[in-house]
């Protein structure tokens, strides 16, 4: 039986679980997923001389890079570094020059007066900070959703960093979904939309990080970084705040949540959807039925009948 069939076989029993028991199961699974994901974050942290701002930047870039360019985006974050961006954050053109120049993606853009200015700025900044530009071939530029094009994402990040000065402290201050949206939901000039349009010929481009992507960054960057930092500093306040923030973000919709929700709507928030992802990936897909916390509940209920 494949994982999808197994999920559907188990999901049919969800109407038998009381709401309180289901809520506790979702909380336990979400916490378990956060603990699993923080292992990867701690591994990144160990490579940054325990610099939390740089760790946060790397995690953020990995998600901005998306499935296609996670590795390339991480390389760029490490190559520039957080402190360099922080020193140049008052100048949007300097941030754009650093990001497009160091990524090598500037070579994709048709030469105009602004590109020439960015090249001049990057020549100065690369010498100042000893930054070697990446090879353009490190980026995967085909087969992606046009709004995830790395040029557009880097321009959007530059605007966010310039206007919000994203720091670890700012991440830790987030309490609700609206706090995350305030950080990331910022528009860039139409210039960058035109640049990507000329490259991709796609007209359905957006000049801002929308609510969907902002929620993804909230779940995987803000919440996860907050939770990991709380664990690192033994702050139960921060770990609890991370879970409460997760609960304020709407549920994700994917093949896992759709399968479980087809029988009974059990995901109302991102905390629930993260719990379902944990259940599906770590238990159903790994054939860990005997260890499965949901399976234990159902076996107990069925044996009592």
Cα torsion 192, 196, 201, 205 to 10°: value is -60
Average pLDDT over residues 169-186: 94
Name the more confident of 172 and 144.
Answer: 172
Q: Does pTM top 0.85 for this prediction? A: yes
Confidence of residue 144 (pLDDT cuts 50, 70, 90): confident
Q: Mean pLDDT across the chain, nearest whole number? A: 94
Residue 210 is given by DSSP the state -
Average pLDDT over residues 197-215: 89
- Say which DSSP state 148 is in: G
The more confident residue out of 142 and 45 is: 45
What are the residues whose beta carbons fall under 8 Å from the beta carbon of 168, sequence distance 6 or more? 52, 53, 56, 225, 229
Q: Count the helix, strand and coil residues of the chain and give each as a percent rounded to the nearest 5.
A: 70, 0, 25
Residue 140: what pLDDT? Answer: 94
pLDDT band for 1, please (50, 70, 90 cuts): low
Average pLDDT over residues 210-223: 95
Tell me which of 121-125, 186-190, 265-269 is least confident: 186-190
Give the CA-trace dihedral at 239, 180, 74, 159, to 10 degrees. -150
Task: Write the CB contacts of 149 (distance below 8 Å, at least 6 apart in sequence).
Answer: 141, 196, 199, 200
Q: How confident is the model at residue 254 (pLDDT cuts 50, 70, 90)?
A: very high
């Amino acid at each position: 039986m494949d994982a999808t069939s197994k999920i559907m076989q188990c999901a049919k029993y969800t109407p038998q679980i009381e709401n309180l028991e289901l809520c506790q199961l979702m909380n336990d699974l979400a916490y378990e997923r956060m603990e699993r994901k923080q292992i990867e974050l701690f591994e990144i942290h160990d490579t940054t001389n325990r610099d939390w701002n740089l760790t946060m930047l790397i995690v953020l870039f990995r998600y901005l890079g998306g499935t296609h360019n996670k590795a390339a985006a991480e390389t760029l974050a490490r190559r520039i570094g957080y402190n360099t961006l922080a020193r140049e954050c008052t100048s949007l053109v300097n941030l754009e020059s650093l990001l497009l120049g160091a990524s090598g993606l500037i070579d994709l853009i048709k030469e105009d007066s602004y590109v020439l200015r960015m090249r001049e700025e990057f020549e100065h900044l690369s010498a100042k900070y000893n930054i070697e530009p990446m090879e353009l071939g490190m980026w995967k530029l085909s087969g992606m959703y046009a709004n995830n094009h790395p040029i557009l994402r880097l321009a959007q990040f530059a605007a966010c960093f310039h206007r919000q000065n994203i720091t670890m402290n700012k991440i830790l201050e987030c309490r609700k979904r609206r706090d995350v949206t305030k950080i990331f939901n910022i528009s860039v000039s139409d210039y960058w939309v035109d640049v990507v349009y000329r490259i991709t010929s796609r007209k359905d481009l957006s000049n801002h990080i929308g609510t969907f992507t902002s929620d993804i960054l909230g779940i995987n960057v803000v919440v996860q970084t907050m939770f990991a930092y709380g664990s690192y500093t033994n702050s139960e306040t921060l770990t609890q705040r991370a879970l409460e923030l997760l609960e304020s973000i709407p549920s994700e919709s994917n093949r896992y949540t759709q399968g479980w929700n087809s029988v009974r709507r059990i995901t109302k928030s991102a905390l629930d959807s993260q719990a379902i992802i944990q259940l599906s990936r770590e238990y159903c897909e790994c054939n860990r039925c005997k260890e499965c916390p949901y399976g234990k509940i159902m076996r107990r209920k069925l044996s009592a009948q």
